[in-house]
Structure 1
Amino acid sequence: MRRTTTHTILVVALGLGLTACSGDDPEATAKPAIKTTVETPAPSTPPLAPKAAGIGDTVTLKGYNDGEQIAATLKKVSDPAVPKTSFSGPGSGKRWIAYEFEIVNTGPALYDGAAIIGMEIADSDGRRFDSVVGEVKAGPRMAFGTTLGPGEKTLGWLVFEAPETSKIATVLMGGGYSDQEGRWKLP
Protein backbone atom coordinates (compact mmCIF):
# COMPACT_ATOMS: atom_id res chain seq x y z
CA MET A 1 0.00 0.00 0.00
CA ARG A 2 2.82 2.37 0.94
CA ARG A 3 4.56 1.70 -2.41
CA THR A 4 1.35 2.41 -4.43
CA THR A 5 0.82 5.68 -2.55
CA THR A 6 4.41 6.73 -3.23
CA HIS A 7 4.03 5.98 -6.97
CA THR A 8 0.74 7.88 -7.12
CA ILE A 9 2.24 10.94 -5.42
CA LEU A 10 5.27 10.80 -7.76
CA VAL A 11 3.06 10.64 -10.89
CA VAL A 12 0.84 13.50 -9.68
CA ALA A 13 3.86 15.64 -8.76
CA LEU A 14 5.48 14.96 -12.14
CA GLY A 15 2.23 15.88 -13.90
CA LEU A 16 1.88 19.11 -11.95
CA GLY A 17 5.50 20.01 -12.60
CA LEU A 18 5.08 19.54 -16.37
CA THR A 19 1.83 21.52 -16.32
CA ALA A 20 3.55 24.40 -14.52
CA CYS A 21 6.25 24.45 -17.19
CA SER A 22 3.79 24.69 -20.06
CA GLY A 23 2.49 28.19 -19.29
CA ASP A 24 2.75 31.25 -21.48
CA ASP A 25 6.27 32.12 -20.33
CA PRO A 26 8.50 31.73 -23.42
CA GLU A 27 11.53 31.16 -21.17
CA ALA A 28 9.98 28.11 -19.52
CA THR A 29 10.26 24.87 -21.45
CA ALA A 30 9.15 21.44 -20.38
CA LYS A 31 11.48 18.53 -20.93
CA PRO A 32 9.96 15.08 -21.17
CA ALA A 33 10.86 12.87 -18.24
CA ILE A 34 10.36 9.60 -20.09
CA LYS A 35 11.39 8.78 -23.62
CA THR A 36 9.24 6.15 -25.32
CA THR A 37 10.30 4.31 -28.43
CA VAL A 38 7.80 2.35 -30.49
CA GLU A 39 9.22 -0.03 -33.02
CA THR A 40 7.21 -0.73 -36.13
CA PRO A 41 8.04 -3.71 -38.26
CA ALA A 42 9.50 -3.04 -41.69
CA PRO A 43 7.04 -3.63 -44.54
CA SER A 44 7.42 -7.01 -46.20
CA THR A 45 7.66 -5.36 -49.62
CA PRO A 46 8.69 -1.73 -50.06
CA PRO A 47 6.07 0.48 -51.74
CA LEU A 48 6.74 1.28 -55.37
CA ALA A 49 7.82 4.85 -56.02
CA PRO A 50 5.54 6.77 -58.37
CA LYS A 51 6.86 6.88 -61.90
CA ALA A 52 7.19 10.31 -63.48
CA ALA A 53 6.56 10.43 -67.20
CA GLY A 54 5.73 13.11 -69.77
CA ILE A 55 3.33 13.66 -72.65
CA GLY A 56 3.58 10.67 -74.99
CA ASP A 57 4.99 8.37 -72.30
CA THR A 58 3.42 5.14 -71.11
CA VAL A 59 3.09 4.14 -67.45
CA THR A 60 2.32 0.54 -66.46
CA LEU A 61 0.15 -0.08 -63.41
CA LYS A 62 -0.60 -3.41 -61.79
CA GLY A 63 -4.14 -3.94 -60.49
CA TYR A 64 -5.24 -5.22 -57.10
CA ASN A 65 -5.70 -8.80 -58.37
CA ASP A 66 -3.25 -11.22 -59.97
CA GLY A 67 -2.95 -10.72 -63.73
CA GLU A 68 -4.42 -7.22 -63.78
CA GLN A 69 -2.16 -4.76 -65.54
CA ILE A 70 -2.68 -1.74 -67.79
CA ALA A 71 -0.41 0.48 -69.81
CA ALA A 72 -1.68 4.08 -69.81
CA THR A 73 -0.33 6.64 -72.26
CA LEU A 74 -0.95 10.37 -72.04
CA LYS A 75 -1.30 11.17 -75.75
CA LYS A 76 -2.40 14.83 -75.93
CA VAL A 77 -3.31 17.87 -73.82
CA SER A 78 -5.93 20.54 -74.57
CA ASP A 79 -5.52 23.54 -72.24
CA PRO A 80 -7.84 25.35 -72.18
CA ALA A 81 -10.23 22.73 -73.58
CA VAL A 82 -13.20 24.03 -75.55
CA PRO A 83 -16.55 22.49 -74.53
CA LYS A 84 -18.29 20.50 -77.28
CA THR A 85 -21.58 22.34 -76.74
CA SER A 86 -22.60 25.73 -75.38
CA PHE A 87 -24.72 23.99 -72.72
CA SER A 88 -21.73 22.86 -70.69
CA GLY A 89 -18.43 24.31 -69.64
CA PRO A 90 -16.36 25.49 -66.72
CA GLY A 91 -17.67 27.67 -63.92
CA SER A 92 -16.86 31.34 -63.56
CA GLY A 93 -13.13 31.97 -63.08
CA LYS A 94 -12.30 28.39 -64.10
CA ARG A 95 -11.22 26.55 -67.21
CA TRP A 96 -11.45 23.01 -68.54
CA ILE A 97 -8.29 21.05 -69.24
CA ALA A 98 -8.57 17.80 -71.19
CA TYR A 99 -6.13 14.91 -71.53
CA GLU A 100 -6.32 12.19 -74.15
CA PHE A 101 -5.40 8.80 -72.71
CA GLU A 102 -4.93 5.41 -74.30
CA ILE A 103 -5.34 2.48 -71.94
CA VAL A 104 -4.21 -0.99 -73.00
CA ASN A 105 -4.84 -4.14 -70.99
CA THR A 106 -1.34 -5.68 -70.91
CA GLY A 107 -2.16 -8.35 -68.33
CA PRO A 108 -3.64 -11.83 -68.80
CA ALA A 109 -6.75 -10.96 -66.73
CA LEU A 110 -9.84 -8.97 -67.70
CA TYR A 111 -9.61 -5.22 -66.96
CA ASP A 112 -12.90 -3.92 -65.64
CA GLY A 113 -12.57 -0.39 -64.34
CA ALA A 114 -13.23 3.28 -64.74
CA ALA A 115 -10.26 5.44 -65.70
CA ILE A 116 -12.05 8.53 -64.45
CA ILE A 117 -11.99 7.17 -60.89
CA GLY A 118 -8.69 7.93 -59.23
CA MET A 119 -7.62 10.51 -61.83
CA GLU A 120 -6.50 13.91 -60.60
CA ILE A 121 -4.46 16.84 -61.79
CA ALA A 122 -2.23 18.92 -59.53
CA ASP A 123 -1.12 22.50 -59.98
CA SER A 124 2.29 23.95 -59.14
CA ASP A 125 0.95 25.04 -55.72
CA GLY A 126 0.02 21.45 -54.83
CA ARG A 127 -3.75 21.85 -55.19
CA ARG A 128 -5.48 18.81 -56.70
CA PHE A 129 -8.54 18.71 -58.92
CA ASP A 130 -10.83 15.80 -59.80
CA SER A 131 -12.16 15.02 -63.25
CA VAL A 132 -15.56 16.31 -64.35
CA VAL A 133 -18.11 14.86 -66.74
CA GLY A 134 -17.81 16.86 -69.91
CA GLU A 135 -17.20 16.62 -73.63
CA VAL A 136 -14.70 18.72 -75.51
CA LYS A 137 -14.21 19.61 -79.17
CA ALA A 138 -10.77 17.96 -79.11
CA GLY A 139 -12.39 14.53 -79.36
CA PRO A 140 -14.66 11.91 -77.79
CA ARG A 141 -14.59 11.43 -74.03
CA MET A 142 -13.37 8.22 -72.49
CA ALA A 143 -16.18 5.92 -71.42
CA PHE A 144 -16.90 5.96 -67.70
CA GLY A 145 -16.78 2.19 -67.33
CA THR A 146 -14.34 0.19 -69.40
CA THR A 147 -14.01 -3.57 -69.78
CA LEU A 148 -10.97 -4.72 -71.74
CA GLY A 149 -9.83 -8.24 -72.50
CA PRO A 150 -6.11 -8.99 -72.68
CA GLY A 151 -4.55 -6.89 -75.46
CA GLU A 152 -7.62 -4.67 -75.95
CA LYS A 153 -7.41 -0.89 -75.69
CA THR A 154 -9.53 2.23 -75.31
CA LEU A 155 -8.84 5.84 -76.25
CA GLY A 156 -10.60 9.00 -75.10
CA TRP A 157 -10.45 12.40 -73.43
CA LEU A 158 -10.74 13.01 -69.68
CA VAL A 159 -11.82 16.50 -68.60
CA PHE A 160 -10.83 18.44 -65.48
CA GLU A 161 -11.80 21.84 -64.13
CA ALA A 162 -9.31 24.16 -62.43
CA PRO A 163 -8.96 27.89 -61.73
CA GLU A 164 -7.95 29.95 -64.77
CA THR A 165 -4.75 31.02 -62.99
CA SER A 166 -3.57 27.52 -61.97
CA LYS A 167 -0.46 26.17 -63.66
CA ILE A 168 -1.15 22.47 -64.01
CA ALA A 169 2.04 20.54 -63.28
CA THR A 170 1.05 16.87 -62.95
CA VAL A 171 -1.57 14.37 -64.10
CA LEU A 172 -2.09 11.47 -61.67
CA MET A 173 -3.68 8.07 -62.29
CA GLY A 174 -4.25 5.34 -59.75
CA GLY A 175 -6.69 5.29 -56.88
CA GLY A 176 -9.61 3.42 -58.41
CA TYR A 177 -7.54 0.80 -60.19
CA SER A 178 -4.42 0.21 -58.19
CA ASP A 179 -2.50 1.14 -55.08
CA GLN A 180 0.23 2.26 -57.49
CA GLU A 181 0.11 5.73 -58.96
CA GLY A 182 1.14 6.85 -62.43
CA ARG A 183 2.40 10.43 -62.82
CA TRP A 184 2.87 12.56 -65.87
CA LYS A 185 4.80 15.81 -65.41
CA LEU A 186 3.71 18.64 -67.66
CA PRO A 187 5.91 21.36 -69.15
Structure 2
Amino acid sequence: MRSMAGIALTALLVTAAAGCAGSPEATRTPSSTTPQESASSGQKGPIASASPSPVPVGRTLSLTGIKAGEKLDVAVVKVVDPASGTELSSPPPGKRLVAVQFRLHNTGSTTYTDSPDNGAKVVDTKGQGFDSAITDTTSAGPNFPATTTVSPGGKALGFIVFEVPAASKIALVQFALDSGFSTDVGQWKVP
Protein backbone atom coordinates (compact mmCIF):
# COMPACT_ATOMS: atom_id res chain seq x y z
CA MET A 1 0.00 0.00 0.00
CA ARG A 2 1.32 3.43 -0.90
CA SER A 3 2.07 5.95 1.77
CA MET A 4 0.00 9.13 2.00
CA ALA A 5 3.15 11.24 1.41
CA GLY A 6 3.85 9.39 -1.87
CA ILE A 7 0.29 9.90 -3.09
CA ALA A 8 0.39 13.59 -2.15
CA LEU A 9 3.73 14.06 -3.95
CA THR A 10 2.41 12.32 -7.09
CA ALA A 11 -0.72 14.51 -7.07
CA LEU A 12 1.41 17.64 -6.66
CA LEU A 13 3.70 16.70 -9.58
CA VAL A 14 0.74 15.93 -11.87
CA THR A 15 -0.89 19.27 -10.98
CA ALA A 16 2.36 21.18 -11.58
CA ALA A 17 2.93 19.48 -14.93
CA ALA A 18 -0.61 20.25 -16.05
CA GLY A 19 -0.18 23.90 -15.04
CA CYS A 20 3.09 24.25 -16.96
CA ALA A 21 1.64 22.74 -20.13
CA GLY A 22 -0.55 25.78 -20.62
CA SER A 23 2.14 28.35 -19.84
CA PRO A 24 3.46 30.62 -22.62
CA GLU A 25 6.98 29.21 -22.15
CA ALA A 26 5.83 25.65 -22.80
CA THR A 27 3.78 26.56 -25.89
CA ARG A 28 6.18 29.07 -27.49
CA THR A 29 7.20 28.12 -31.01
CA PRO A 30 10.50 29.20 -32.52
CA SER A 31 10.50 31.74 -35.34
CA SER A 32 10.77 30.34 -38.81
CA THR A 33 14.09 32.06 -39.58
CA THR A 34 17.00 32.24 -37.18
CA PRO A 35 19.65 34.98 -37.43
CA GLN A 36 22.14 32.37 -38.65
CA GLU A 37 19.78 31.29 -41.46
CA SER A 38 19.34 34.93 -42.47
CA ALA A 39 23.11 35.33 -42.63
CA SER A 40 23.49 32.32 -44.91
CA SER A 41 20.78 33.65 -47.23
CA GLY A 42 22.88 36.70 -48.13
CA GLN A 43 21.76 39.21 -45.51
CA LYS A 44 24.02 42.28 -45.67
CA GLY A 45 23.09 44.17 -42.48
CA PRO A 46 23.93 43.43 -38.85
CA ILE A 47 22.82 40.10 -37.47
CA ALA A 48 20.91 40.03 -34.20
CA SER A 49 23.15 38.30 -31.70
CA ALA A 50 20.38 36.09 -30.29
CA SER A 51 21.96 33.12 -32.04
CA PRO A 52 24.63 31.34 -30.00
CA SER A 53 26.28 30.28 -33.27
CA PRO A 54 29.43 32.23 -34.11
CA VAL A 55 29.58 34.24 -37.34
CA PRO A 56 32.61 34.61 -39.61
CA VAL A 57 35.23 37.31 -39.00
CA GLY A 58 34.13 40.40 -40.93
CA ARG A 59 30.42 40.08 -40.09
CA THR A 60 28.63 42.69 -38.00
CA LEU A 61 26.55 41.80 -34.95
CA SER A 62 24.07 44.13 -33.27
CA LEU A 63 24.72 44.00 -29.50
CA THR A 64 22.86 45.66 -26.64
CA GLY A 65 24.18 46.78 -23.30
CA ILE A 66 22.76 46.96 -19.81
CA LYS A 67 21.72 50.63 -19.99
CA ALA A 68 18.57 51.69 -21.81
CA GLY A 69 19.36 52.82 -25.36
CA GLU A 70 22.83 51.24 -25.38
CA LYS A 71 23.35 49.46 -28.70
CA LEU A 72 26.40 48.89 -30.91
CA ASP A 73 26.95 47.25 -34.25
CA VAL A 74 30.20 45.36 -33.64
CA ALA A 75 32.44 43.71 -36.23
CA VAL A 76 35.67 41.79 -35.86
CA VAL A 77 37.55 43.26 -38.82
CA LYS A 78 40.64 41.04 -38.65
CA VAL A 79 42.72 38.79 -36.43
CA VAL A 80 46.51 39.18 -36.48
CA ASP A 81 48.07 35.98 -35.15
CA PRO A 82 50.82 36.25 -34.16
CA ALA A 83 51.21 39.97 -33.58
CA SER A 84 54.67 41.34 -32.91
CA GLY A 85 55.09 43.25 -29.69
CA THR A 86 57.32 46.18 -28.91
CA GLU A 87 60.19 46.16 -26.43
CA LEU A 88 57.73 46.90 -23.64
CA SER A 89 55.02 44.49 -24.77
CA SER A 90 56.83 41.35 -25.84
CA PRO A 91 55.24 38.20 -24.44
CA PRO A 92 57.15 35.95 -22.04
CA PRO A 93 58.65 32.66 -23.30
CA GLY A 94 55.98 30.12 -24.25
CA LYS A 95 53.39 32.81 -25.07
CA ARG A 96 52.44 34.86 -28.12
CA LEU A 97 50.35 37.95 -28.81
CA VAL A 98 47.12 37.87 -30.81
CA ALA A 99 45.63 41.21 -31.92
CA VAL A 100 41.95 41.52 -32.88
CA GLN A 101 40.67 44.61 -34.66
CA PHE A 102 37.11 45.64 -33.75
CA ARG A 103 34.86 48.22 -35.41
CA LEU A 104 32.21 49.74 -33.14
CA HIS A 105 29.26 51.75 -34.49
CA ASN A 106 26.92 53.29 -31.95
CA THR A 107 23.38 52.66 -33.26
CA GLY A 108 21.76 53.35 -29.89
CA SER A 109 20.30 56.47 -28.36
CA THR A 110 22.89 56.92 -25.59
CA THR A 111 26.64 57.55 -25.56
CA TYR A 112 28.79 54.43 -25.22
CA THR A 113 31.61 54.95 -22.70
CA ASP A 114 33.55 51.85 -21.74
CA SER A 115 36.85 50.03 -21.95
CA PRO A 116 36.30 47.63 -24.88
CA ASP A 117 39.30 45.55 -23.71
CA ASN A 118 37.33 44.44 -20.65
CA GLY A 119 34.49 43.01 -22.74
CA ALA A 120 36.64 41.02 -25.19
CA LYS A 121 37.94 37.48 -24.98
CA VAL A 122 39.50 34.87 -27.27
CA VAL A 123 38.79 31.16 -26.91
CA ASP A 124 41.04 28.37 -28.17
CA THR A 125 40.04 25.02 -29.68
CA LYS A 126 40.21 23.42 -26.21
CA GLY A 127 37.63 25.88 -24.87
CA GLN A 128 40.11 27.91 -22.81
CA GLY A 129 39.24 31.61 -22.68
CA PHE A 130 41.81 34.41 -22.53
CA ASP A 131 41.16 38.00 -21.43
CA SER A 132 42.87 40.99 -23.02
CA ALA A 133 46.49 41.74 -22.16
CA ILE A 134 47.88 45.06 -21.01
CA THR A 135 50.16 46.15 -23.83
CA ASP A 136 51.19 49.51 -25.17
CA THR A 137 51.08 48.58 -28.85
CA THR A 138 51.77 45.85 -31.39
CA SER A 139 52.77 45.74 -35.02
CA ALA A 140 49.09 45.17 -35.90
CA GLY A 141 48.02 48.77 -35.31
CA PRO A 142 46.68 51.15 -32.68
CA ASN A 143 44.84 49.79 -29.64
CA PHE A 144 41.61 51.24 -28.30
CA PRO A 145 42.25 53.88 -25.64
CA ALA A 146 41.72 52.83 -22.01
CA THR A 147 38.32 54.52 -22.13
CA THR A 148 36.48 54.73 -25.44
CA THR A 149 33.57 57.12 -25.90
CA VAL A 150 31.31 56.86 -28.96
CA SER A 151 28.34 59.22 -29.37
CA PRO A 152 25.14 57.98 -31.03
CA GLY A 153 25.91 57.55 -34.73
CA GLY A 154 29.67 57.60 -34.10
CA LYS A 155 32.26 54.94 -34.86
CA ALA A 156 35.50 53.66 -33.34
CA LEU A 157 38.17 51.32 -34.68
CA GLY A 158 40.96 49.71 -32.70
CA PHE A 159 42.85 46.60 -31.73
CA ILE A 160 42.54 44.56 -28.55
CA VAL A 161 45.56 42.40 -27.73
CA PHE A 162 45.59 39.00 -26.03
CA GLU A 163 48.48 37.01 -24.59
CA VAL A 164 47.94 33.29 -25.21
CA PRO A 165 50.02 30.10 -24.89
CA ALA A 166 52.22 29.54 -27.95
CA ALA A 167 50.55 26.17 -28.66
CA SER A 168 46.92 27.44 -28.45
CA LYS A 169 44.88 27.61 -31.66
CA ILE A 170 42.37 30.46 -31.42
CA ALA A 171 38.89 29.40 -32.53
CA LEU A 172 36.57 32.21 -31.32
CA VAL A 173 36.51 35.90 -30.52
CA GLN A 174 33.84 37.09 -28.07
CA PHE A 175 32.65 40.60 -27.21
CA ALA A 176 30.03 42.07 -24.87
CA LEU A 177 29.26 45.67 -23.87
CA ASP A 178 29.56 47.09 -20.36
CA SER A 179 33.02 45.60 -19.72
CA GLY A 180 31.64 42.15 -20.49
CA PHE A 181 28.72 42.34 -18.05
CA SER A 182 26.04 42.48 -20.75
CA THR A 183 24.44 39.09 -21.40
CA ASP A 184 24.27 39.87 -25.13
CA VAL A 185 27.56 38.31 -26.27
CA GLY A 186 28.74 38.32 -29.88
CA GLN A 187 30.92 35.48 -31.20
CA TRP A 188 33.09 35.28 -34.30
CA LYS A 189 34.77 32.11 -35.57
CA VAL A 190 38.44 32.41 -36.47
CA PRO A 191 39.44 30.55 -39.64
Gap regions ≥5 residues in structure 2: 1-8, 31-48
- Residues in 2 aligned to 1:161 and 1:152: alpha-carbon distance in whole angstroms: 29
Equivalent in the alignment of 2:96: 95
* Alignment coverage as a number of residue pairs: 153
Equivalent in the alignment of 2:182: 178
Moved >6 Å (runs of 4+): 34-41
SS across alignment from 1:80: strand
CA distance 1:177–1:115, shift in 2 (3 Å): farther
- How far did residue 167 of structure 1 move? 0.6
Q: Does the CA-based 8 Å contact 1:141-1:157 persist in structure 2?
A: yes
- Residues in 1 aligned to 2:53 and 2:147: alpha-carbon distance in whole angstroms: 25
Equivalent in the alignment of 2:118: 117
Out of 171-180 and 155-164, give the one that drifted further: 171-180
Q: TM-score, normalised by structure 2?
A: 0.71
Equivalent in the alignment of 2:44: none
Equivalent in the alignment of 1:74: 76
CA deviation string 1:75-120 (max 9, x = no partner) = 111100001x222211210100001111110111111112111211
- Residues in 1 aligned to 2:87 and 2:151: alpha-carbon distance in whole angstroms: 36
Equivalent in the alignment of 1:148: 150
Query: What value does the CA root-mean-square deviation take over the aligned residues?
Result: 2.7
Q: Which has the larger radius of gyration?
A: 1
Q: Does the CA-based 8 Å contact 1:116-1:131 persist in structure 2?
A: yes
- Residues in 1 aligned to 2:63 and 2:181: alpha-carbon distance in whole angstroms: 8
- How far did residue 127 of structure 1 move? 0.6
Identical-residue share of aligned pairs (%): 37
- Residues in 2 aligned to 1:112 and 1:165: alpha-carbon distance in whole angstroms: 35
CA deviation string 1:13-52 (max 9, x = no partner) = xxxxxxxxxxxxxxxxxxxxx9996989959x99933352
What are the residue-to-residue correspondences of 1:1-187 with 2, within 5 Å? 48-83=50-85, 85-134=86-135, 135-174=137-176, 176=180, 178-187=182-191
CA distance 1:51–1:106, shift in 2 (3 Å): farther
Q: Does the CA-based 8 Å contact 1:51-1:59 persist in structure 2?
A: no
- Residues in 2 aligned to 1:108 and 1:142: alpha-carbon distance in whole angstroms: 22
- Residues in 2 aligned to 1:110 and 1:51: alpha-carbon distance in whole angstroms: 28
Quick one: which amino acid aligns to residue 150 of structure 1?
P
Equivalent in the alignment of 2:38: none
Q: Does the CA-based 8 Å contact 1:61-1:182 persist in structure 2?
A: yes
- Residues in 1 aligned to 2:181 and 2:114: alpha-carbon distance in whole angstroms: 7
SS across alignment from 1:132: coil
Q: Which has the higher helix share?
A: 2
Q: TM-score, normalised by structure 1?
A: 0.72
Q: Does the CA-based 8 Å contact 2:89-2:138 persist in structure 1?
A: no
